[in-house]
């Protein structure tokens, strides 16, 4: 289902969280809202979910205006950074929650929940309490819980932010594959450019409440609309008045046609990655 | 330390704990267990016959019935309104919130006889608001409500503060109305605190004396509560009868504490 955001504004006191935001998210996409902390991306996600209200503007899910609909009537799945697990309920009951609210017959609930737990590889843990799961498992449970109600859109707020690097990497791959299987329109918030480039098929860069650029990961990486997007999507250095990426630079040990002389201050090896800190030799400096 | 523990395999206590345990046991025995045992001994001093006779005295039985009924009513009101007050104090912002937060504790900090005096001047024969609750069961009810205000509020408040808002939001996004979200997601987390607050409020209501002695009028069969009955029995040279009533109050207290703990465990398991 598509999501349309038109002229959305939101302030918290004097702070402008969203400034005339317009986005069109196509059905079936896996979209990343990327930007620095405090840039308004979580606010936008919460407005789509109905957990916050915009001061003005329109939010439409699949063409119908949901700006003022209550969250419980929007049929969105929401995954929180800190899991928001129902601590007193078993993993099974957590996932079943939305179905129980919808008064789905017990046998049907049982079938659907076990199916989802299998999908997130937690079928062994159905009877455990959330406190007996690891962070990664809890987040997978939260995902299954959100998917159980067959939401028209799935929203994830920094879903892997609280997890350690290894688990984060696993879950990214896994989210990608899950999306290929389930095909629900998915929007996730992240401040990690690598995560956005790796997982999504569309990126919306948001900074200071404004949309800086929308496009595919390759598009944004190769043709950033401005310096901010360039700087935010991977390392960049200012050279001759423009920003360049590391792979735009070639290093020679002697002067070559078109080369510029520089002094290497530091060589740092990070696994397969070798980084040079080089300072351009300024004539007379 | 590990060596010391393996050297004494029969003892599961760490070094120094023996002293602590001894001190705690002695202290609690001197303060609590010995006096309680003394009351039981006193109450049964004339044998079981004397005990039953003391309790089946119509006016004593009436006092006990009145006390327990009123305490139950007051506790039920407290569970509901105490939770509401705690909710408002935690979740809402309004001018005068800090003052209201302070006022909650006044009934607890005030000497109960002063509370009685306050209620007497407000609802007594010369009531400035035209309400005459004294010398009636309504008066007892109001006085008990007054003195039990803080218990549930203060028990629930910190738990509510600690509770993450995102679980309610998660419930809402899964289709739960605010009421359903409260019932299914918030309330189960409050149950242990609510049970503790309820137990305290009930215990206080059963044992209340100071605020009632002025307000209730202490009319036998009508407005005489158990604690006042204990005093009058004792003053009428019937210490065994007084002790008998005391043992009943003691039993009620124990049953309440155990019962509420069982209820709490059940609620936590059920979810």
- If pLDDT is split at 50, 70 and 90, which confidence band does B3 have? very low
pLDDT of residue B271: 53
**Percentage with pLDDT > 90 across chain A:** 48
Question: Chain B partners of A89 at a C-beta cutoff of 8 Å?
Answer: 271
pLDDT of residue A183: 85
Residue B64, domain CATH: 1.10.3720.10
Range of the domain at B144: 47-270
Residue A213 has pLDDT above 60, yes or no: yes
- pTM for the full predicted model: 0.78
- If pLDDT is split at 50, 70 and 90, which confidence band does A122 have? very high
Give A101 to chain B, closest Cα distance, Å.
6
Q: Is residue B98 part of a domain?
A: yes
- If pLDDT is split at 50, 70 and 90, which confidence band does A126 have? very high
Distance (Å, rounded) from C-alpha A208 to C-alpha A45?
A: 15
- If pLDDT is split at 50, 70 and 90, which confidence band does B10 have? low
Give A86 to chain B, closest Cα distance, Å.
7
Six-digit token string for B67: 């006390």
Contact B175 A102 (CB under 8 A): yes
Look at A65-74, A89-98, A240-249, B177-186 and tell me which has the smallest mean pLDDT: A240-249
Look at B7-16, B162-171, B224-233 and tell me which has the smallest mean pLDDT: B7-16
pLDDT of residue B39: 87
* Residue A108 vs residues A91, A140, B205: alpha-carbon distances, Å: 17, 21, 49
Please give the average per-residue pLDDT across A218-235, as a whole number.
Answer: 87
Q: Decide if the complex's ipTM is over 0.90.
A: no
Please give the average per-residue pLDDT across B159-165, as a whole number.
Answer: 89
pLDDT of residue B15: 66
pLDDT of residue A210: 92
Q: Is residue B14 part of a domain?
A: no
Element (H, E) at B178: helix B178-181
Q: Is residue B231 part of a domain?
A: yes
Judged by a CB distance cut-off of 8 A, whether residue B174 touches chain A is: yes
Residue A32 has pLDDT above 90, yes or no: yes
Mutation site for B-interface testing, chosen from A84, A99, A144 by largest number of B Cβ within 10 Å: A84
Picking from B167, B177, B189, the nearest residue to A84 by CB comes out as B167
Mutation site for B-interface testing, chosen from A71, A130, A153, A189 by largest number of B Cβ within 10 Å: A71
How many residues are listed for chain B in this entry? 271
Distance (Å, rounded) from C-alpha B85 to C-alpha B27?
A: 37
Residue A178 has pLDDT above 90, yes or no: no
Name, of A223-232, B4-13, B67-76, the range with top average pLDDT.
Answer: B67-76
pLDDT of residue B5: 45
Q: Is residue B3 part of a domain?
A: no
* Residue B66 vs residues B171, B203, B216, B219, B229: alpha-carbon distances, Å: 43, 14, 12, 12, 11
| Average pLDDT across chain B, whole number | 86
Q: Is residue B179 part of a domain?
A: yes
* Residue A263 vs residues A248, A281, B179: alpha-carbon distances, Å: 18, 6, 67
pLDDT in tens, B114-140: 988 888 888 888 878 878 888 888 889
Picking from A80, A87, A101, the nearest residue to B175 by CB comes out as A101
Residue B51 has pLDDT above 90, yes or no: no
How far is CA A269 from its chain centroid? 29
Q: Is residue B26 part of a domain?
A: no
Residue A79 has pLDDT above 80, yes or no: yes
Picking from B175, B188, B268, the nearest residue to A98 by CB comes out as B175
Contact B166 A149 (CB under 8 A): no
Contact A98 B174 (CB under 8 A): yes
Look at A23-32, A209-218, B38-47, B83-92 and tell me which has the smallest mean pLDDT: B38-47
Judged by a CB distance cut-off of 8 A, whether residue B200 touches chain A is: no
pLDDT of residue A85: 92
Distance (Å, rounded) from C-alpha B111 to C-alpha A181?
A: 68
Give B174 to chain A, closest Cα distance, Å.
5
Residue A80 has pLDDT above 70, yes or no: yes
How many structural domains comprise chain B? Answer: 1
Please give the average per-residue pLDDT across A65-89, as a whole number.
Answer: 90
pLDDT of residue B4: 45
pLDDT in tens, A82-114: 999 998 899 999 999 999 999 999 999 999 999
Please give the average per-residue pLDDT across A167-182, as a whole number.
Answer: 86
């Amino acid at each position: 289902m598509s999501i349309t955001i038109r002229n959305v504004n939101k302030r918290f006191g004097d702070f402008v969280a969203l400034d005339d935001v317009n986005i069109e998210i196509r059905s079936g996409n896996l979209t990343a809202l990327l930007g620095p902390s405090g840039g308004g991306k979580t606010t936008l996600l919460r407005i789509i979910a109905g957990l916050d209200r915009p001061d003005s503007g329109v939010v439409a899910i699949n063409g119908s205006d949901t700006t003022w609909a209550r969250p419980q009537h929007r049929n969105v799945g929401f995954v929180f950074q800190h899991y928001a697990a129902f601590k007193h309920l078993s993993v099974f009951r957590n996932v079943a929650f939305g179905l129980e609210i919808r008064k789905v017959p017990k046998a049907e609930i049982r079938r659907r929940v076990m199916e989802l737990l299998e999908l997130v590889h937690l079928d062994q843990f159905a009877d455990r309490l959330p406190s007996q799961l690891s962070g990664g498992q809890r987040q997978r449970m939260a995902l299954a819980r959100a998917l159980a109600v067959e939401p028209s859109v799935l929203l994830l707020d920094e879903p892997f932010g609280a997890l350690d690097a290894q688990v984060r990497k696993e879950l990214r791959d896994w989210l990608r594959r899950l999306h290929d299987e389930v095909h629900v329109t998915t929007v996730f918030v992240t401040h990690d450019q690598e995560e956005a480039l790796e997982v999504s098929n569309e990126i919306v860069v948001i900074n200071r409440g404004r949309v800086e650029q929308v496009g595919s990961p390759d598009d944004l990486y190769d043709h950033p609309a401005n310096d901010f997007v360039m700087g935010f999507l991977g390392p960049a250095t200012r050279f001759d008045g423009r920003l360049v990426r590391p792979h735009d630079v070639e290093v020679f040990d002697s002067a070559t046609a078109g080369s510029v002389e520089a002094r290497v201050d530091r060589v740092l090896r990070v696994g397969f990655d070798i980084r040079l800190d080089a300072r351009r030799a300024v004539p007379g400096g | 330390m590990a060596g010391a523990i393996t050297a004494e395999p029969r003892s599961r206590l760490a070094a120094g704990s023996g002293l602590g345990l001894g001190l705690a046991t002695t202290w609690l025995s001197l303060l609590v267990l010995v006096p309680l045992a003394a009351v039981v001994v006193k109450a049964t001093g004339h044998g079981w016959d004397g005990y039953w006779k003391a309790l089946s005295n119509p006016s004593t039985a009436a006092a006990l019935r009145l006390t327990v009924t009123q305490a139950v009513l007051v506790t039920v009101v407290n569970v509901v309104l105490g939770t509401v007050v705690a909710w408002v104090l935690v979740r809402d912002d309004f001018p005068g919130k800090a003052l209201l937060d302070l006022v909650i504790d006044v009934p607890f900090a005030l000497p109960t006889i002063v509370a009685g005096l306050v209620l007497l001047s407000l609802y007594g024969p010369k009531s400035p608001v035209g309400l005459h609750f004294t010398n009636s069961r309504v008066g007892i009810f109001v006085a008990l409500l007054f003195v039990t205000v803080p218990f549930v509020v203060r028990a629930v408040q910190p738990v509510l503060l600690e509770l993450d808002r995102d679980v309610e939001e998660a419930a809402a996004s899964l289709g739960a109305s605010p009421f359903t979200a409260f019932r299914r997601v918030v309330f189960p987390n409050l149950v242990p605190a609510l049970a503790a607050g309820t137990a305290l409020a009930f215990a206080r209501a059963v044992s209340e004396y100071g605020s009632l002695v002025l307000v209730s009028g202490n009319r036998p069969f009508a407005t005489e509560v158990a604690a006042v009955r204990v005093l009058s029995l004792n003053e009428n040279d019937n210490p065994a009868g007084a002790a008998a009533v005391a043992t009943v109050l003691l039993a009620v207290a124990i049953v309440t504490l155990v019962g509420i703990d069982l209820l709490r465990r059940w609620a936590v398991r059920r979810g």
